[in-house]
Each structure stands twice: as structure tokens, then as C-alpha cells.
């Protein structure tokens, strides 16, 4: 997950990184949170895959990371 913060902390501008992906970088002070005035509405992410093709390594890792994020958010 720290690789998600590289772009944000590189000084290239503003970046959006989900908080659970950025927790280590936030704790280290490498990136910081901007508090928004308005609440951001809940969003839903859907992963669609072609059942007729085997996903490559990057697609498998992306799906694993998404599933891991959902599992962490739903943990008690």
C-alpha cells in the first residue's frame, strides 16, 4: 500500500489515496489529510472481469488489493 502514496508525496500535486492504503505514510508524516468542508457521498466500486480471459499479474494484484481493502473495511 505504500506505493499508492509515492505519487502524492512526490510533490507533483494533489493526490487521492484511500485512507486505509495511506495509514503508514500518514503515521510517518510523509503525506497528510486535507479536511473537506463537505461530506463526500458514499461511492461503490465494481470490478468487472472478462470470464473468457485469464487476468495478467497486474490485474490479479489489483483485484487482490481491492478485495483486501474491502475485507479490512468490513472487519469488526
Q: Cα separation of 63 and 61, whole Å?
A: 5
Q: Cα separation of 19 and 5, whole Å?
A: 10
Report whether 18 contacts 69 (CB < 8 A): yes
Q: How confident is the model at residue 6 (pLDDT cuts 50, 70, 90)?
A: low
pTM, full prediction = 0.43
10-65 pLDDT, tens digit per residue, is 666 667 777 887 888 889 888 888 888 998 888 888 889 899 999 999 999 989 98
pLDDT at res. 1? 47
Q: What is the mean pLDDT of residues 57-75?
A: 81
Amino acid at each position: 500500500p505504500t506505493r499508492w502514496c509515492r505519487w502524492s508525496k512526490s510533490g507533483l500535486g494533489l493526490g487521492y489515496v484511500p485512507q486505509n492504503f495511506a495509514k503508514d505514510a500518514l503515521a510517518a508524516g510523509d503525506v497528510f489529510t486535507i479536511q473537506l468542508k463537505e461530506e463526500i457521498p458514499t461511492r461503490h466500486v465494481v470490478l468487472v472481469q472478462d470470464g473468457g480471459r485469464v487476468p495478467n499479474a497486474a490485474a490479479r494484484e489489483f483485484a487482490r488489493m481491492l478485495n483486501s481493502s474491502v475485507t479490512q473495511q468490513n472487519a469488526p
